[in-house]
Amino acid sequence: MSAYDFLADYYDDFQKDIDPCEWAQFIDGIVKKYGRTSGDGEAGRLLLCDLGCGTGLVTCELSKMGYDTVGVDNSLPMLERARTRAEEEGCPILWLCQDMTALDLYGTMDVFVSLLDTMNHITNKKDIVKLLKSFFCFLNPGGLFIFDVVTKKHFAETLGQGFFYSIEDDSAIFWENDYDEKAKMNTASLTMFGEQEDGRYERCDEDIVERYYSDADIRELVRSCGLEVVAVYGDRKRRKPNEKDERVFYCIRRPEETEK
């Protein structure tokens, strides 16, 4: 069982500081500014695919805003939680269990998003390239890919060599962090406990590794794949990033006329 499979029942508790409506509104604003005005969805709605959607916190909010929405994640327990949430909130979302670096969709999308530093979890640049190149199969010309990455400040200063923990009524997580500045790799060594139906606690230990991507890294990867950066924002603000930001958002676009 992966860390994310184990965390599925408790993930929302650990993300309680996230306001999914605020995140969705920020994404929607970017789409309205740079995206297509009509899409391939029902009644001309934009088709949006959330890569690494987890339990569907933001995915459902985007669906409520009028997008025809698909959620992709490689954890079945996470997707099961997302499906339950969508049913309870009346969101007609298609959920797919796939590796986002090996997409196999049924058609093309108008918008892709990947949020909450999902892209940092792709530690091999070749896999980033595979994802970006797949947009020439699955992203309509003029379509957008909006994603965030966490900054060096976040890895080196906020996390650094720190120790963190979160204790809830039915779960607990202990996190020893290590950021290797030379390798640009961050390792979160997790020990997690979750209460079972019989009252006993199950334990899961796993290292989660993320890679720091600089602005130069992102731009070179995007350029090498024939895509274009159209906007960069710091910390969900409509402004350029600065040295205090913990997270940077990129909006990239597939040009209207580009050869594969």
User: In the prediction, which pLDDT does 1 show?
Assistant: 62
User: In the prediction, which pLDDT does 185 show?
Assistant: 98
What's the one-letter identity of residue 147? F
Please give the average per-residue pLDDT across 24-42, as a whole number: 95
Q: What is the pLDDT of residues 79-138, one digit of tens each?
A: 999 999 999 999 999 999 999 999 999 899 999 999 999 999 999 999 999 999 999 999
Pairing state between β 68-73 and 171-180? unpaired
CA-CA distances (angstroms) from residue 94 to 69, 86, 99, 122? Answer: 7, 10, 15, 24
Of 55, 62, 67, 71, nearest to 27 by C-alpha is 62
The CATH T-level fold of domain 153-211 is N-terminal domain of TfIIb (2.20.25)
- CA 15 to centroid of chain Cα atoms: 13
Report the 3 state secondary structure along the chain: CCHHHHHCCCHHHHCCCCCHHHHHHHHHHHHHHHCCCCCCCHHHCCEEEEECCCCCHHHHHHHHCCCEEEEEECCHHHHHHHHHHHHHHCCCCEEEECCHHHCCCCCCEEEEEECCCHHHHCCCHHHHHHHHHHHHHHEEEEEEEEEEEECHHHHHHHHCCCEEEEECCCEEEEEEEEEECCCCEEEEEEEEEEECCCCCEEEEEEEEEEECCCHHHHHHHHHHCCCEEEEEEECCCCCCCCCCCCEEEEEEECCCCCCC
Q: What is the pLDDT of residues 233-247, one digit of tens each?
A: 999 999 999 999 999
* Residue 36 clears pLDDT 60, i.e. is over it: yes
Tokens of 39: 């899409």
* Residue 260 clears pLDDT 80, i.e. is over it: no
Q: What is the pLDDT of residues 206-256, one digit of tens each?
A: 999 999 999 999 999 999 999 999 999 999 999 999 999 999 999 999 999
User: In the prediction, which pLDDT does 168 show?
Assistant: 87
What's the one-letter identity of residue 153? K
- Are 99 and 76 within 8 A, CB to CB? no
φ, ψ (nearest 5 deg) of residue 193: -130, 135
Pairing state between β 139-150 and 228-234? unpaired
| Domain residue spans of the chain | 3-151+214-253, 153-211
CA distance 117 to 182: 20
What's the one-letter identity of residue 86? A
Of 246, 236, 251, nearest to 151 by C-alpha is 246
CA triple 223-30-25, angle to 5 deg:
140
DSSP bridge partners of 177: 188
Positive or negative torsion for Cα 161, 149, 4, 207: negative
- Order of strands across the sheet that contains 201-211: 163-167, 171-180, 185-195, 201-211
Class (C level, CATH) for 3-151+214-253: alpha beta
